[in-house]
Amino acid sequence: MKDDIHGYIAEINKVEVKTKDDLELFRIRFLGKKGIIPALFAGMKEIEPAQRKDTGLLLNALKNRVQEKIDEAKTILDKTGDKGVEKPDLTMPVGFRETGSLHPLTIVRNEIVRIFERLGFSIAEGPEIEDDWYNFTALNFVPEHPARDMQDTFFIGRDPDIMLRTHTSSVQIRFMEKTKPPIRVILPGRVFRNEAISARAHCIFHQIEGLYVDEDVSFADLKQTLYFFATELFGPETRIRFRPSYFPFTEPSAEMDISCFICGGKGCRVCKNSGWVEILGCGMVDPNVLDNCNIDSSKYTGFAFGLGIERTAMLKYQINDIRLFFENDIRFLKQFAGEY
């Protein structure tokens, strides 16, 4: 009889009770009047007295196991109805949610800001609507400078004094008016120029301005800072070179190129076979600019630089049309999910 009981226990452990009908059949098979359990109890009379106790315990265990199985199945069937215990359908499509992403311009701006933060630069912002003093005059633009022209600048109303800023250099002036050296600051923001929109140019874009003013700041400091920046952003193999240039607010002025990170300088489509790509404008802050902000130019020197975020992002991600940044086409934006 013990062997029989062991056999039933094994069977109960294996059997699947999926529907209410299954459950009823199972119950009748074991607990019905003519079922297995009553029959086994009846058979106890035949068992030798020496075996009776062990067998009785085992039989009770079987009965409990049957009851347990019935209770388990009931609980599940009560929840799922008479459809039975459903196994999950692993072929069902998952209702996953798409995650949002940062805009590629935000990603690049954050990355640039973080690099300069590591060098001890802080971050500040200024207004998008400016007057002539901050956007031009204090930055040493002579009155007849062509950049003031209607062609470039969005003036607001008829007042030639009020405009959308054409560059973030205006924030240099605002910052130096309020803060005295030592100054180490990064000034990101949106700028506006009255330009025809094309794959290369837009009337709204973003810049990051950098400004460092202290005693004994030299062009070597400028180079080393920008070298660090370039290798952090574009990789340790990156080389830099400076070409003389002109900006009213810096003297001397330069444009900085980086060795093409696509071809490593061998020449490709991105660098137009030159091996170099232009990345930013920079220079030593013109003493007139410091004086305009009441900073003693006989005591302090400084460097400044400004770069376009769109241009940098286009290089970094090899995007060939600036308009993509502003169209909000989800197929474009989606590709940056997961970056930060």
Residues near ligand DAH, by CB under 6 A: 167, 169, 209, 247, 250, 281-283, 304-306
Q: Which is nearer to ligand DAH, 30 or 229 (CB)?
A: 229
Tell me which amino acid residue 115 is. I
CB of 111 to ligand DAH, least distance (A): 19
Residue 180 forms beta bridges with which residues? none
CB of 324 to ligand DAH, least distance (A): 22
Q: Which is nearer to ligand DAH, 228 or 242 (CB)?
A: 242
Q: Helix/strand/coil (H, E, C) string of the chain?
A: CHHHHHHHHHHHHHCCCCCHHHHHHHHHHHHCCCCHHHHHHHHHHHCCHHHHHHHHHHHHHHHHHHHHHHHHHHHHHHHHHHHCCCCCCCCCCCCCCCCCCCCHHHHHHHHHHHHHHHCCCEECCCCCEEEHHHHCHHHCCCCCCHHHCCCCCCECCCCCCEEECCCCHHHHHHHHHHCCCCEEEEEEEEEECCCCCCCCCCCEEEEEEEEEEECCCCHHHHHHHHHHHHHHHHCCCCCEEEEEEEECCEEEEEEEEEECCCCCCCCCCCCCCCCEEEEEEEEEECHHHHHHCCCCCCCCEEEEEEEEHHHHHHHHHCCCCCCHHHHCCHHHHHHHCCCC
CB of 303 to ligand DAH, least distance (A): 7
Q: Which is nearer to ligand DAH, 247 or 336 (CB)?
A: 247
Structure tokens at 279: 């990345």
CB of 304 to ligand DAH, least distance (A): 3
Q: Which is nearer to ligand DAH, 104 or 306 (CB)?
A: 306
Q: How many CA atoms lie within 13 A of 240 on its CB side?
A: 23
CA 214, CA 20: separation in Å to the nearest integer? 85
Q: Which is nearer to ligand DAH, 192 or 336 (CB)?
A: 192
Query: Shortest Cβ contact with ligand DAH: which residue?
Result: 306
Q: Which is nearer to ligand DAH, 77 or 213 (CB)?
A: 213
Q: Which is nearer to ligand DAH, 77 or 304 (CB)?
A: 304
CB of 287 to ligand DAH, least distance (A): 14
β-pairing, 240-247 vs 301-308, is unpaired
Q: Which is nearer to ligand DAH, 62 or 233 (CB)?
A: 233
Q: Which is nearer to ligand DAH, 238 or 253 (CB)?
A: 253
CB of 309 to ligand DAH, least distance (A): 12
CB of 213 to ligand DAH, least distance (A): 12
CB of 147 to ligand DAH, least distance (A): 9
Tell me which amino acid residue 307 is. L
CB of 194 to ligand DAH, least distance (A): 14
